[in-house]
Chains A and B, each alone.
Chain A
Amino acid sequence: MSETLNQAVAKPDRHCDVRDWQKQRSARHDRLTAASRFASGKMVPPENVKALLEAVIRPGDRVCLEGDNQKQADFLAEVLADVDPSRIHDLHIVQSGVVLQAHLDLFERGIARKLDFSYSGPQGAGIARALAAGKIELGAIHTYIELFARYFVDLTPHVALIAGVQADRDGNLYTGPNTEDTPTIVEATAFKSGIVIAQVNEVVDKVPRVDIPGDLVDFVVKSDKPFYVEPLFTRDPASITENQILMGMMAIKGIYAEYGVKRLNHGIGFPTAAIELLLPTYGERLGLKGKIATHWALNPHPTLIPAIESGWVEQVHSFGSEVGMDGYMSARSDVFFTGHDGTLRSNRMICQAAGLYACDMFIGSSLQIDLAGNSSTVTPGRIAGFGGAPNMGSDAHGRRHLSAPWLKAGREASDGDIKLTRGRKLVVQILETFGEKMKPNFVETLDSVKMAEELNLDLAPVMIYGDDVTHIVTEEGIANLLLCRTPAEREQAIRGVAGFTDVGRKRDHKAVEALRQRGIIRRPEDFGIDPLDANRQLLAAHSIADLVTWSGGLYQPPSKFRNW
């Protein structure tokens, strides 16, 4: 068979056949050989890790130092930041989260030069400073799914330094509930002749489940302390304001119920936490149980516990885990995705795809919205990155399956013959008109525009583009941007819910009244909402302690959220 094929295909002239098609594989072999004297099989003692990294990593390598939204390969990060910069330099860091001091130290010390990332959170100010000082050459700020996609096209890591809970001696890894980015990082690195090094909390004879098969893992080191996990999704019900409750009621009545939204993703702000706590109370009163909010792409928000316990939630797939929620999720495997070992299995890449293609609505907060509905979380001097929100909060033009909310949204946005009109994802921004210290959340120009000028960025970071936003909810009401037909209408619709900010006070009152007549702007009274219901008594839980009670003691909040 193969002979026949060989004869059939005209062979190129092979007389100077010197091209080596196995360079990556040979390089991998060389690196493993250089590293082998610091390891015993796959096991590396912690004190050898620095020498191992210096043997394995080459100047200019693309390196992923697993920094997820939550789980951090912090031990490996600290060792990498301590290598000799004369041996390892000009690395190109390609990782979703840049959240540890050690990540920035790489650039300060000249070990790394170029950066492609998604999210920086606590290091947002440090990244802005390093950029301004020329210490970081910025590739791009991505959404998670984009960066992961580029791992398979042009940003494939040469070396991945990852984190897991347990390993066996063959390198099989149990990541624990925070699987997050690990499968994606390993897939890209291991199958393109890269090197994978894992830090684990424990080495065991047999892992409870294999999240990463051992033949994809080259080295394992047991770190002296468990990897750091950031609790990002815990919102204390005690901090929810009455206006957030008011906005939540409007959203439930005016969007969830009206479009019949069953499949959705929530952002991590307080307004959506309020909605989670209103489903079993206000939602129940409206008779919406089973009709809305049944299937989720969502991190395990503790504030969803009362809705789950009241039977509202059919299913949740998660990007990552949340500190304190593991026992609860293990006990609720009908709702959450769990391994045969019983613990949560999360996966950021897959959940991002689910949020993009399988959800009919994203609803989340923002820090700034401009007159076109563009929104940004950039504040002066900070580059916080994007994470997943721009992906969740965007219409998926490749979507072809239909659902009632998707069709209704698409049809509201078009006139005339709708036979070929595609549907639209509902992308809802929910925010109070003022933020901390009377900072207006509605602005003429986003702060990110000025920041892009100062840092010479060719593109100002925008979290969600205005043309993807379908609704804006504030305490003043809901603006339905799908129904706007001109940029001027859109601007007045936004001003018309911008409250007493300068943007709101500069509204054209007549135009806003006309938009209200057309149902483009709706006020709490238009929904028949009693302002006296905007009261914390309406929340299904008033405190973290209430959430623990709802969970039957299965939710174990971290100490910073315990005040009893």
Chain B
Amino acid sequence: MEHFQVNGKVNRKAGGDRHQAITGVNASGNLEVLVERVLPDHECQVNVTTAVNGFRAIWEAVIEEFFKRGAPGGLRFWINDGGARPDTVSLRLMQSVRLMEIES
């Protein structure tokens, strides 16, 4: 089990006005993402709890790419990971931002 936090500055505030959302499941090869709108508009933060140790560098690369691509300003993410591959993590993060944008 490993925990770490990645913080970022982004140009754009996440769209929509939903306060929080959850997507995915904490199962083998998958992950659960909880997202909440609690940070200033140009900040974002991802907290990772993963069942698999030793992949922190890849996690950071995935999350930094997400900050650039996903524009998640103002959002804090909590990830419970069951050993998902990086491509699944990226997709789930993008999905969680979209959930915050759509009408609740």
Q: Could you tell me which A residues sit within 8 Å of B by CB distance? A: 241-243, 246, 432-434, 438, 474-476, 499-500, 505, 523, 525, 530-532, 534
From residue B61, how far is it (CB to closest CB) to chain A in Å?
Answer: 6
Decide: A241 and B88 in contact? CB cutoff 8 A.
Answer: yes
From residue A241, how far is it (CB to closest CB) to chain B in Å?
Answer: 7
Decide: A531 and B95 in contact? CB cutoff 8 A.
Answer: yes
Contacts of B91 in A (CB 8 A): 242-243, 246, 475, 531, 534
Contacts of B62 in A (CB 8 A): 500
The yes or no answer to B90 lying at the interface (CB within 8 A) is yes
The yes or no answer to B58 lying at the interface (CB within 8 A) is yes
Q: Using CB atoms, name the residue of chain A closest to B55.
A: A438
Given A500-B86, A532-B95, A532-B98; 7 other pairs, CB 8 A cutoff: A242-B88, A242-B91, A243-B87, A434-B87, A500-B61, A530-B98, A534-B91
Contacts of B65 in A (CB 8 A): 500
The yes or no answer to B99 lying at the interface (CB within 8 A) is yes
- The secondary structure that dominates the B interface is helix
Decide: A499 and B87 in contact? CB cutoff 8 A.
Answer: yes
Contact with A along B3-22 (1 / 0, CB 8 A): 00000000000000000000
Beta-carbon contacts under 8 Å, B28-82 to A: 58, 61-62, 65, 69
Decide: B58 and A500 in contact? CB cutoff 8 A.
Answer: yes
Q: How many residues of B contact A (CB 8 A)?
A: 16
Decide: A475 and B95 in contact? CB cutoff 8 A.
Answer: no
Would A243 and B88 be within 8 Å (CB), given that A500-B62, A531-B94, A532-B99 are in contact?
yes
Contacts of B61 in A (CB 8 A): 500, 505
Contacts of A525 in B (CB 8 A): 69
Decide: A476 and B95 in contact? CB cutoff 8 A.
Answer: no
Supply 28 A–B pairs (Cβ within 8 Å), ascending by A.
A242-B88, A246-B91, A432-B85, A433-B87, A434-B85, A434-B86, A434-B87, A438-B85, A475-B87, A475-B90, A476-B87, A476-B90, A499-B86, A500-B58, A500-B61, A500-B62, A500-B65, A500-B86, A500-B87, A505-B61, A530-B98, A531-B91, A531-B95, A531-B98, A532-B95, A532-B98, A532-B99, A534-B95
From residue B52, how far is it (CB to closest CB) to chain A in Å?
Answer: 9
| Most chain B CB atoms below 10 A, which of A241, A500, A523 | A500
From residue B37, how far is it (CB to closest CB) to chain A in Å?
Answer: 18
From residue B90, how far is it (CB to closest CB) to chain A in Å?
Answer: 7
From residue A527, how far is it (CB to closest CB) to chain B in Å?
Answer: 14
**Bound CA span A500–B98, Å:** 22
Q: Using CB atoms, name the residue of chain A closest to B88.
A: A243
Q: Using CB atoms, name the residue of chain B closest to A241.
A: B88
Contacts of B102 in A (CB 8 A): 532
From residue A352, how far is it (CB to closest CB) to chain B in Å?
Answer: 33
Contacts of A474 in B (CB 8 A): 87
**Bound CA span A241–B84, Å:** 12
Q: Using CB atoms, name the residue of chain A closest to B24.
A: A242
**Bound CA span A23–B62, Å:** 70
| Most chain B CB atoms below 10 A, which of A475, A499, A531 | A531
Contacts of B94 in A (CB 8 A): 531
**Bound CA span A475–B69, Å:** 14
Contacts of A532 in B (CB 8 A): 95, 98-99, 102
**Bound CA span A438–B29, Å:** 10
From residue A523, how far is it (CB to closest CB) to chain B in Å?
Answer: 8
| Most chain A CB atoms below 10 A, which of B85, B90, B98, B99 | B85
**Bound CA span A243–B90, Å:** 10
Decide: A432 and B87 in contact? CB cutoff 8 A.
Answer: yes
Q: Using CB atoms, name the residue of chain B closest to A535.
A: B95
Contacts of A434 in B (CB 8 A): 85-87
**Bound CA span A432–B88, Å:** 10
| Most chain A CB atoms below 10 A, which of B58, B62, B102 | B58
Q: Using CB atoms, name the residue of chain A closest to B23.
A: A532
Contacts of A242 in B (CB 8 A): 88, 91
**Bound CA span A434–B65, Å:** 17
Q: Using CB atoms, name the residue of chain B closest to A434.
A: B85
Contacts of B99 in A (CB 8 A): 532
Q: Using CB atoms, name the residue of chain B closest to A530.
A: B98
Contacts of B58 in A (CB 8 A): 500
Contacts of A433 in B (CB 8 A): 86-87
From residue B95, how far is it (CB to closest CB) to chain A in Å?
Answer: 5
**Bound CA span A433–B86, Å:** 9
Contacts of A475 in B (CB 8 A): 87, 90-91
**Bound CA span A127–B30, Å:** 36
From residue A408, how far is it (CB to closest CB) to chain B in Å?
Answer: 29
Contacts of A530 in B (CB 8 A): 98
Contacts of A246 in B (CB 8 A): 91
Contacts of B95 in A (CB 8 A): 531-532, 534
From residue A242, how far is it (CB to closest CB) to chain B in Å?
Answer: 6
**Bound CA span A434–B90, Å:** 13
**Bound CA span A295–B71, Å:** 42
**Bound CA span A523–B65, Å:** 13
